[in-house]
Amino acid sequence: MRPTLHGPVGLALAACLLASVPASSQTLRDGRAAEPQRTVPTGQPQVQLSFAPVVRNAVGSVVNVYGARVEKNPRMAQMDEFFRRFFGERGPSMAPERTQRSLGSGVIVDSSGLVVTNNHVIASMTEVKVALHDRREVEAEILLRDPRTDLAVLRLKGKGTYRAIDLGDPDELQVGDLVLAIGNPFGVGQTVTQGIVSGLARTNIGVSDYGYFIQTDASINPGNSGGALVDMAGRLVGINSAIYSQSGGSVGIGFAIPSNMVRAVVASAKAGAKAMQRPYLGATLQKVSADLAEGLGIDPPTGALVASVRSGGPAEQAGLRTGDVILEVDGRIVDDPDAFGWRFALKGVTGETPVKVNRRGKSEVLTIKLGPPPEVPARDPISPRGRTPFTGMTLVNLSPAVSDEMHLDLQEGVVVSEVEDGTTAERLGFRKGDVIVAINGDRIRTTRELDRIVRDGARGWEVSIRRAGQVLTSVFGG
């Protein structure tokens, strides 16, 4: 059973968990009962009373996010014009436009009006509004969309100072800790649910490329995606994102993106980036199996094995070698390549970070310089036209930057970066991310090589592409 997303993206949206606290009564001098004073629960008997103070501390920072996208329908526009010509302005309208909408939750993380939500909540949306806790509605600008982390950052356009939530440290969480979730399930209004942390560092969930989720048993339902997972101090420890479900409803297994990734994404947005800036390692990693661990003298099997090191990259410059096993990043334990990718991504693209490795049974600490993936060679985009299978696509040269952008393992070659709707390339089944390996038996290394072959013309085309790790060859007529 896989996690599902609700709404336009089909992923089951996550819910928000929030907790309340206990009360003690006082009496005023005139005999009237005073407002009960509540504190954060310190034990099980108190937990049974109320989580209200925790909720009150966080609820003002949780918002509802509404997205909309107006789509043009050229065929309907033409039909509409047809009826107008024959029947005038009173003719039936064929609705040349249609609007798609999404609903989710978000969290104010900066008093200037920065809001974090899930990327799938506002994916492809062009208009976004945010409903605050006090029922005010404010238009929002999309600063950053990052599908790889499934996070997005919005900026509220209204003037003033907003109530921002404090960010906690998710690395301090333990399985069994109480947490609360706040969101807007099913659009019924802001709702709080309570549960415990039932798992940490969950990977391979299938929600995002950087999966390192907090698992909770708090009720999570459609509309809760982007909402807050808070600890007993009312601090944000996660953004609720997905659930395991066959029906789309909560079954007590929800996943939240830890707030340390929220910090990193917000920092990228403040720096003006349109997607999160990730550091470049220049090496490929693989999981340490039990057999490999025995041969490497690692017990139990853990860490990320260095499978290859790219020439001139930060890994090579730091002295990382094929066969090394990465055990820690900046003092944080790394269990597998996913955990390394998560920890390394959090470091940003400036400065340097220590990495502990096991090399032939001995521990060493290497220092890796942090920086963005290089864009070498240049993209040099081309858009072939004419009677070719490539008409309607844009192709660029692969580089570490392009590979990172498009989630590809390859570092050289020519890749399809865009495919226009209704074009020859789309009808023939080409997709964004396809790597052109060869044309009519000639290997393709650069966009200039491909452009030369296309310009020479041909009556038939044998095209080999790499897609999802497989090489596929098709023959097309001229």
DSSP assignments along 111-162, one per residue: TTTEEEEEHHHHTT-SEEEEE-TTS-EEEEEEEEEETTTTEEEEEE-S-S--
Q: Looking at 6, 61, 146, 150, which residue is catalytic?
A: 150
User: What are the tokens at 357?
Assistant: 């490795």
Q: Looking at 50, 198, 219, 225, which residue is catalytic?
A: 225
Structure confidence at residue 23 (pLDDT)? 40
Report the alpha-carbon distance of residue 424 to residue 356 in Å, rounded.
51
Structure confidence at residue 455 (pLDDT)? 87
Domains observed in the chain: 1-21+43-66+105-277 (2.40.10.120), 283-369 (2.30.42.10), 393-477 (2.30.42.10)
Structure confidence at residue 424 (pLDDT)? 93
Structure confidence at residue 47 (pLDDT)? 57
Measured from the Cβ of residue 478, the count of other Cβ atoms closer than 10 Å reads 10
DSSP assignments along 15-32, one per residue: --B-----EE--B-TTSP
Structure confidence at residue 445 (pLDDT)? 95
Residues in the chain: 478
- Annotated binding residue 407: no
In this predicted model, what pLDDT tens digit does every residue of 159-185 receive, in sequence order?
Answer: 888 999 999 999 999 998 999 999 887
Is there a contact between 2 and 243 (Cβ–Cβ < 8 Å)?
Answer: no
Structure confidence at residue 290 (pLDDT)? 86
Helices (runs of H) and strands (runs of E) counted in the chain: 11, 27
Report the alpha-carbon distance of residue 195 to residue 252 in Å, rounded.
9
Task: Please give the backbone phi and psi of residue 231, each rounded to the nearest 5 degrees, phi first.
Answer: -90, -175
442 is catalytic: no
- Annotated binding residue 187: no
Structure confidence at residue 12 (pLDDT)? 35
- Annotated binding residue 291: no
- Averages of pLDDT over runs of 10 residues in the chain (478 residues) are 40 33 43 55 65 88 84 50 47 51 87 94 88 90 91 91 93 91 77 88 60 83 86 93 65 86 93 89 91 80 92 94 95 90 92 94 94 94 92 95 84 91 93 94 94 85 91 84
250 is catalytic: no
Find, among 459, 463, 389, 466, the residue nearest to 426 by Cα.
Answer: 389
150 is catalytic: yes
- Annotated binding residue 223: yes
Report the alpha-carbon distance of residue 193 to residue 224 in Å, rounded.
11
Structure confidence at residue 325 (pLDDT)? 95
Q: Looking at 120, 208, 219, 404, which residue is catalytic?
A: 120
Q: Which residues contact 45 (CB under 8 A, 6 or more apart)?
A: none
Structure confidence at residue 26 (pLDDT)? 47
- Annotated binding residue 224: yes
Torsion of CA 367, 369, 374, 377, to 10 degrees: -60
Structure confidence at residue 74 (pLDDT)? 47
Structure confidence at residue 289 (pLDDT)? 87
Cα dihedral across residues 100, 105, 109, 111: positive or negative:
positive
